[in-house]
Structure 1
Amino acid sequence: MKMMRGYLRKISSQPYACRYWYSTVTCGWCLPVRHFTPSSMSPERNPGKLIYELGNGQWNIPQLREALEKIIRQDSHFDDYEVEHSFPSIGRRIMMLNGRQVSEAGERKKFILLAIEDATDRIMAKRKLQESEKKFRGFIQTINSIILRFNNEGKITFFNHFSEQLFGYSEKELLGKPMVGTIIPEKDEEGRDQQAMVRGALEHPEQYYVKQTEGRKKDGGKVWFQWSAKETRDERGNVTEILVDGNDITGEMEYRRMLQEIQGLAESSPDIMARFDGKMRLLYGNPFLMRILGRSRNEVVGKTIRELGLPAEKTAQLEAALLKAKGEGDRLKTVIELQGHVYRIQIVAEDKQRQSFKLYAADITDRKRMEDALRRNEYELKSVVENTPDIYFRMNRQLQYVFVNPTYEKLTGLTKEQFIGKTNSQLGMPRQMVEFWQSAAQEAIVSGKEHIVEFEISSLFGKRYYSARIIPEFEKSGLVETVLVVARDITDRKQIEEELASTRS
């Protein structure tokens, strides 16, 4: 017993709240430490009592009973066994128990040595920390930002849900993998080494407060994200990990690039491009406009239309167009002639308040000349078709008339309105004529080739003979869309041929 008491005195210097040793489950020794062991629980006052009976039964804890009886039955031990219990005088406490059987040398009698540590504060602090970490992780997983961590080897140690969706990787796929070569390409668009960027963040994280980086998705797609770095250091001050907090700026970068491309197109465009504010002051003019004005951009930006140096008539025309666009707010189109060239101008309001406008002016001089020439040709052709003694008519693939000239109207006694949209059969033409034109038109539609036929027609002026060219007309797809028939009167020739034939016979 002296040896056991010496051992107990030795371990009493350890940071436990209370320590007991007892035979079987009977109290044999008690070191009164802190609130667990009031004087009423000393071994002198409780000889031969079970530990479960001490302190009016406050130590009759099912978990403690189970642990102690297991030692007795199995001659085993337990370490760091957690027991949570409410005590009448001090409330709910959490204890860490260590127990084992011991015996003095030369004695058969065994004792159970039980060490009890009041770990309430430590365990509660740990639980609060775990709960706080759980809530923080939950927040990190739901936030619409890139949150990831990488260690001092550049390998990913955490990857939140938003990052998974953005890059297309699961966290499991990336944990332990280097950032460079997975979510960051080895070199950016300008050929810079991205591994050097990671090393820079580890060595000088304060310089990476705001950084824009090109990223790469699992499917090879490109993303851009803006991020900042927050380091974690060990007790020696060395950076062990970097926390990355970032935002997806892919849309913003694409918009910037689009603006740059538009700016580049405007600067090199052969058309006029300009911007005006609500007071008709020039905000921007491209180089082509500067060439027309014969002035530099610095000389004209901020000037009103009247101060640009255009002829008075053109100034008034442009001013009226801008005023109309400001009042109506819709796209306004007009045509203006400058220095011998014709421009088609389109003015568009940039905002709902119509405080700024974009002006586009395309040089349509050549197109205007072609349109004028085409109109003249159309007029001349129409004049020829309407006044020629030849027959002109057009049929679609269903053999419905889509055009007839006045000559054909006179011969048949039908008006253009009666012809359009009708077939020969619907017009009541003779059966022989219906079948003839079905065969002749279908041949051109199927073959896609022009051919010549001769036919006779009983007109208001008697029987007439015609030689007709049947010309297929094609749509963009290459199919025949309509057939044009141009027929010339050969009645006189036919009559001469008949007379010659009669004379010979």
Structure 2
Amino acid sequence: MPDISIKEEWNDTAEEYFKSIVETIREPLLVLNEQLLVISANRAFYDLFRVSPEQTLHKHIFELGSGEWNENGLRRLLLDVVPYNKQFHDYLVDYDFPAIGHRIMRINGRKIVQQEGISPLILFAIEDVTERVKMEKAVNEYTLLINYSPDNMARYTLDGRYISINRAFERLIGMPRSKIIGKRLGELVAPPEMTRLIKAGFDQAIRTRIEAALQVKLKDKYLHIFVVPEIDKEGNVVSLMTFTRDITSLKKTEQELRENEEKYRTLVENANDGIIIVQDGIVKYANMCMAVLDESTPESIVGTPFVDHIYPSEIPKLLENYRRRMAGEYVPTPYETVLRRRNGEPAPAEINAAVINYHGKPADLVIIRDITERKRAEDELRRREWEFRTLAENSPDIIV
């Protein structure tokens, strides 16, 4: 009898000791018997899942809550723990729990063998890894984004050593990652001038704690580089990142545009016809020939209302044609009209106009031809024709 009493006392003490250990563990923990009934749960379990001991103790693990632990994979693992003395680690349960919403739980389970004659127990440890899994997913997505980004990305120590690079950067430099990581800026293929500019960008980013932008030339390539400081919680710059974009094709396009613009500007400026651009009823551009026709200068024409350059009797017709063109309606061109010179005198003109896009908005491109001499010639021709007809009608002789 004394031996049995001592054994029972030891079991009671061991149980209390075991429960104390379970209670002090920060992660949620269940203790199951071999029938998978919950015989103990710690405070962390009750707090996390917002349940009471009455809802938990002596319940089957698969019947807890809304059956969140009755998941096929987890069920097989638990049923194998006692008979086969197995343990499992890092099993993930992704579930919408009734009281706490969607969570991802990492489960570890193992068998605890007690003294002979006492049934084994199962420790069922739970860790909420929702935020960690989200973070790992975000890091993986971020890594994929960096590696497959068309922009060249690199990360540096404050003294300019390469910490990491993406695949685009490898292609830009023409070296594998293994030969780049750990090297200092300037030890690779970059020319001294480019290295100097990038170091200046580094110094600016460290000093101002904001990104620095610069353009550099590497061999036959033009590069646009953003230097971004990485700042810790204390506000200290701990590393630097560069985002490099190859803008060679953009530079080439800009050069071609400038050349084409210069060609068209030369053509327009030296045209024999007056050319103006009218937007919202205001003259936005006028060439030299238009200034000659107006007897003024291009600068004095730009910014004035278009109607100021139309002879009063012609204003209704030209405004109606302008309205119809801007509305997308058909307007026959060319047509004749009369403009008003700066001194108020009429100037016969022939107008050919079309709608264009100017600085992102619709505008009227108007080509104006001075027909003063043509009108004079037509008037002279009509006068001579009248004289000849008068002479013929009043002559006593027969004119064939």
TM (normalized to structure 1)?
0.54
Overall identity of the aligned pairs, in %: 18
Q: How many angstroms apart in 1 are the aligned matches of 2:97 and 2:336? A: 72
CA contact (8 A) 2:311 2:340 kept: no
| Residues 1:431 and 2:338 aligned together | no
Distance 1:440 1:330, change over 3 A: same
Q: Report the CA distance between 1:245 and its aligned residue.
A: 4.7
1:359 to 242, 259, 271: 242
Aligned to 1:306: 186
Let me know the Cα RMSD of the aligned residues: 4.1
Q: Which letter maps to 1:359?
A: T
SS of 1:401's partner is: strand
Aligned to 1:447: 328
Equivalent positions of 1:46-125 (< 5 A) are: none
Q: How many angstroms apart in 2 are the aligned matches of 1:139 and 1:224? A: 16
SS of 2:159's partner is: coil
| Residues 1:157 and 2:64 aligned together | yes
Q: How many angstroms apart in 2 are the aligned matches of 1:365 and 1:450? A: 44
Q: How many angstroms apart in 1 are the aligned matches of 2:87 and 2:329? A: 74
Q: Report the CA distance between 1:393 and its aligned residue.
A: 2.0
Q: How many angstroms apart in 2 are the aligned matches of 1:448 and 1:333? A: 47
Q: Per-residue displacement from partner, 1:287-321 (whole Å, max 9, x unpaired)?
A: 33334444332222111113224333332232222
Distance 1:315 1:229, change over 3 A: closer
Distance 1:156 1:408, change over 3 A: farther
* Larger gyration radius, structure 1 or structure 2: 1
| Residues 1:225 and 2:104 aligned together | yes
| Residues 1:316 and 2:316 aligned together | no
Distance 1:303 1:438, change over 3 A: same
CA contact (8 A) 2:309 2:340 kept: no
2:258 to 368, 371, 375: 375
CA contact (8 A) 2:68 2:95 kept: no
Equivalent positions of 1:159-178 (< 5 A) are: 174=66, 177=67
Equivalent positions of 1:184-199 (< 5 A) are: 195-199=72-76
SS of 1:493's partner is: helix
CA contact (8 A) 1:146 1:248 kept: no
Equivalent positions of 1:466-477 (< 5 A) are: 466-474=349-357
Q: How many angstroms apart in 2 are the aligned matches of 1:239 and 1:368? A: 73
Q: How many angstroms apart in 1 are the aligned matches of 2:282 and 2:294? A: 16
Distance 1:237 1:382, change over 3 A: farther
CA contact (8 A) 1:466 1:491 kept: yes
Aligned to 2:152: 272
Q: Report the CA distance between 1:348 and its aligned residue.
A: 0.7
Structure 2 stretches lacking a partner, 5+ long: 1-40, 387-400
2:363 to 482, 485, 499: 482
Number of aligned residue pairs:
328
Distance 1:501 1:216, change over 3 A: farther
Q: Per-residue displacement from partner, 1:23-70 (whole Å, max 9, x unpaired)?
A: xxxxxxxxxxxxxxxxxxxxxxxxxxxxxxxxxxxxxxxxxxxxxxxx
Q: How many angstroms apart in 1 are the aligned matches of 2:44 and 2:375? A: 99
SS of 1:465's partner is: strand
Q: How many angstroms apart in 1 are the aligned matches of 2:79 and 2:250? A: 63
Aligned to 2:226: 346
Q: Report the CA distance between 1:413 and its aligned residue.
A: 5.1
1:403 to 263, 278, 285: 285
Question: Which of structures 1 and 2 has the larger relative contact order (alpha carbons within 8 angstroms, sep 6+)?
Answer: 2
Structure 1 stretches lacking a partner, 5+ long: 1-135, 159-173, 181-193
Q: Report the CA distance between 1:372 and its aligned residue.
A: 0.8
| Residues 1:412 and 2:319 aligned together | no
CA contact (8 A) 1:273 1:359 kept: yes
Q: Which letter maps to 1:198?
A: R
| Residues 1:289 and 2:169 aligned together | yes
Q: Which letter maps to 2:169?
A: L
SS of 1:388's partner is: coil
Aligned to 1:110: none
Q: How many angstroms apart in 1 are the aligned matches of 2:187 and 2:240? A: 18
Q: How many angstroms apart in 1 are the aligned matches of 2:373 and 2:97? A: 83
Q: Report the CA distance between 1:449 and its aligned residue.
A: 5.5
Distance 1:435 1:214, change over 3 A: same
Q: Report the CA distance between 1:456 and its aligned residue.
A: 1.9
